């Protein structure tokens, strides 16, 4: 199938190296559209965007990359959404640096539905994983498509919960859509492509680069009505997403946690800055002005003991968490005999990693 001339023009324009987004927007405003920019004389291009940009535009994109992109777009579930496409997410049009072209794999229609971002730590606690998945499923069932970044930890749990609910999930990636990062999420990416959607502004072949993920984050927050942070340290990238959401006029939500956990400090900082403290999915729905009735009987989040039953923990320290805990509770969490646990607790206490408290309780040290 031969691509439409206007679609090919958008792809050509977006793939020209050495021309920034601001320059391209000036050219589009002056010339009227991508075909007109590509057909404009070099003198006009130079007056609007500079001589270097004019030279790049006249040289054009790499032919092999252009051909590969147009071929990719022929697959039934692959979409190229340009700024003038009616399917382009309207909420992104308000961004000063809205991408000229979005790559979408899966259901492009999901981008027009009410959405909520759920983000958090790449190394969460078992409780955090359970919270993320439970909130995502409840909110998905209530009509919100769950958006996250396909990262390890909270992102993956949010995607799983969103896919398990009625409104599915969308991943915004920091690579080209012909790549999966991290690689261990290949099955999750396949499920998202089949049941939800994957979205990127980066051309095919773009590898994971550190500088691309902050750019990804502004799209992640920009696509949504609000952003929920489940667990985050003080310097977590999730806080960048949350603050971008606030700057974009989106609602910011945070789940509080133990005062002893480093992964609660980012959420607590956001709450101090004005984020809404949430304990249930209903809190979010009410703040967004959505009908709470659509949630049905919102299930309570699993208790911490249940969380440890559902999520595999790698050590006794993980089972301890950060709040004081007695031996019986620790035995219940770990599925081990109290006598076995006592021996390990003594060793951990001698190493300075655990403190014994009055009443036969133990607490993990920071």
How far apart, in whole angstroms, are the C-alpha atoms of residue 308 and residue 312? 7
Residues 6 or more apart whose Cβ sits within 8 Å of residue 47: none
Cβ atoms of 284 and 253 within 8 Å: the answer is: yes
Instruction: Please state the pTM of the whole predicted model.
Output: 0.81
Q: Which of 35-49, 68-82, 185-199, 283-297 has the lowest mean pLDDT?
A: 283-297
pLDDT for 340: 76
In which element (H, E) is residue 9 found?
helix 5-15
Which pLDDT band holds residue 306 (cuts at 50, 70, 90)? very low
Q: How are beta strands 78-82 and 101-106 bridged, if at all?
A: antiparallel
At 294, is the secondary structure helix, strand, or coil? helix
In the chain the first and final C-alpha atoms are separated, in Å, by 60
Tally the residues of the chain: 366
- Which H, E and C letters describe 140-185, residue by residue? HHCCCEEEECCCCCHHHHHHHHHHHCCCCEEEECCCCCCCCCCHHH
| pLDDT tens, position by position, 248-276 | 999 999 999 989 899 999 999 999 999 99
Which pLDDT band holds residue 294 (cuts at 50, 70, 90)? very low
Which pLDDT band holds residue 291 (cuts at 50, 70, 90)? low
| pLDDT tens, position by position, 220-241 | 999 999 999 999 999 899 999 9
DSSP classification of residue 210: T
- Which H, E and C letters describe 245-285, residue by residue? HHHCCCEEEECCCCCCCHHHHHHHHHHHCCCEECCCHHHHH
Q: Which of 92-106, 274-288, 313-327 has the lowest mean pLDDT?
A: 313-327
How far apart, in whole angstroms, are the C-alpha atoms of residue 202 and residue 198? 12
pLDDT for 348: 79
| pLDDT tens, position by position, 39-95 | 999 999 999 999 999 999 999 999 999 999 999 999 999 999 999 999 999 999 888
How far apart, in whole angstroms, are the C-alpha atoms of residue 211 and residue 215? 7
């Amino acid at each position: 199938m031969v691509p439409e001339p206007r679609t090919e023009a958008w792809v050509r324009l977006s793939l020209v190296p050495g021309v920034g987004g601001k320059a391209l927007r000036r050219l589009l405003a002056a010339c009227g559209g991508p075909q007109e920019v590509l057909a404009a004389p070099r003198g006009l291009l130079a007056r609007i965007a500079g001589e270097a940009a004019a030279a790049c535009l006249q040289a054009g994109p790499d032919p092999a990359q252009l051909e590969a992109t147009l071929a990719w777009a022929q697959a039934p579930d692959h979409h190229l959404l340009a700024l003038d496409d009616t399917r382009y997410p309207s909420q992104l049009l308000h961004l000063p640096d809205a991408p000229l072209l979005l790559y979408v794999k899966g259901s492009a229609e999901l981008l027009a539905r009410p959405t909520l971002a759920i983000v958090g730590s790449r190394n969460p606690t078992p409780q955090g994983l359970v919270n993320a998945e439970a909130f995502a499923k409840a909110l998905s069932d209530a009509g919100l498509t769950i958006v996250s970044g396909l990262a390890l930890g909270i992102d993956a749990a949010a995607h799983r919960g969103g896919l398990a609910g009625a409104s599915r999930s969308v991943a915004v990636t920091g690579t080209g859509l012909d790549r999966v990062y991290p690689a261990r999420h290949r099955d999750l990416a396949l499920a998202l492509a089949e049941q939800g959607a994957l979205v990127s502004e980066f051309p095919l072949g773009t590898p994971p680069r550190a500088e691309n993920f902050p750019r990804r984050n502004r799209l992640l927050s920009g696509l949504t009505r609000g952003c929920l942070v489940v667990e985050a340290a003080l310097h977590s990238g999730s806080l960048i997403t949350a603050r971008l959401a606030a700057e974009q006029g989106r609602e910011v939500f945070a789940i509080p946690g133990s005062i002893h956990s480093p992964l609660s400090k980012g959420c607590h900082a956001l709450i101090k800055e004005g984020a809404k403290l949430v304990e249930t999915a209903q809190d979010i729905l009410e703040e967004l002005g959505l009908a709470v009735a659509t949630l049905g009987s919102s299930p309570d989040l699993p208790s911490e003991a249940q969380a440890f039953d559902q999520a595999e923990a790698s050590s006794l320290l993980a089972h301890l968490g950060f709040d004081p805990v007695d031996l019986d509770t620790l035995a219940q969490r770990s599925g081990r005999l109290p006598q076995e646990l006592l021996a390990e607790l003594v060793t951990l206490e001698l190493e300075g990693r655990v403190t014994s408290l009055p009443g036969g309780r133990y607490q993990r040290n920071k």
